[in-house]
Amino acid sequence: MSGRYELHCHLDGSVRLSTLADLAPGVDVRARAVAPPDVGSLHGFLPFIDVALDVLQTPEALERVARELAEDWRADGVVHGEVRFAPQLHTRAGLSVDAVIDAVSAGLAAVTGVRTGLLLCCLRHQDPSVSLEIAATAVRRDDVAGLDLAGDERRPGAPHREAFDLAHAAGLPVTVHAGEAAGPDSVWEALDVLGARRIGHGVRSVGSAALLSRLRRDAIALETCPRCNVLTRAVPSLAAHPVDQLLRAGLRVTVSTDTRTTADTSLDAEFAALRETFGWGPDEERRVQENAAAAVFAP
């Protein structure tokens, strides 16, 4: 198989530092946008995305960062990249949700040599009516490849079920952040209540043998993001990350960056670390890429 696949990448966490410096003059963007190694938790990690959210409020900025992400994918050997974001967070300056998506879609389409897919995020902390609006927008647009649920996993996903039922009825595939900050129960909910076909992160699934059996049986892709999982302390260290265990157990493991800027990483860096830590070679990377290719949402 030629080329890499990235399935789990957040737009607002993957803005080039040089671009942030242009859009937020006078701000120490490295200090504000790159999480330090001791950030310690998901709740400590998320504020490092705020500076990008502050400036990604115009069509020009949104189109630029989407185009640059596609360029960065191409440079990283990615032939198929799927980016996700919550368009409702980019309406502070008066843009409509559709105008936000238009700008991001245009930026992705401007780059050749890499296929792209766009996923919209519902957010656990927002009212379910907002999620329903995002889902309704997603299903009527030809440039949206899937729906996601992101945010604080301590909040249940079940209140957002109507939005995900709408996606399923329209044939729009679904992924859900689960098993990162919360345990196996959040993954069960993602599967049985929200109908997820992929799980964002899912590393804490190892706490349940029955869950691992279910994930293997249904060929559910796990969108692992090793460096980010260590930064947020979903796992205590890379050596303790279950990615190698899960791959060898026959689960559909994939590897992504999550947030290229906030986590200060790339797929090159992720696979280099996995080679050093677990002795991965071409066979393991090939299996990961085959898993990702089988799990893509975009055509």
- Residues 75 and 32: beta-carbon distance below 8 Å: no
> Other CB atoms closer than 10 Å to residue 193's CB: what's the count?
17
Residue in 180, 189, 270, 284 annotated catalytic: 180
- CA–CA distance, 56 with 157 (Å, rounded to integer): 27
CA distance 71 to 107: 10
Annotated catalytic, 180?
Answer: yes
Residues designated as active site: 180
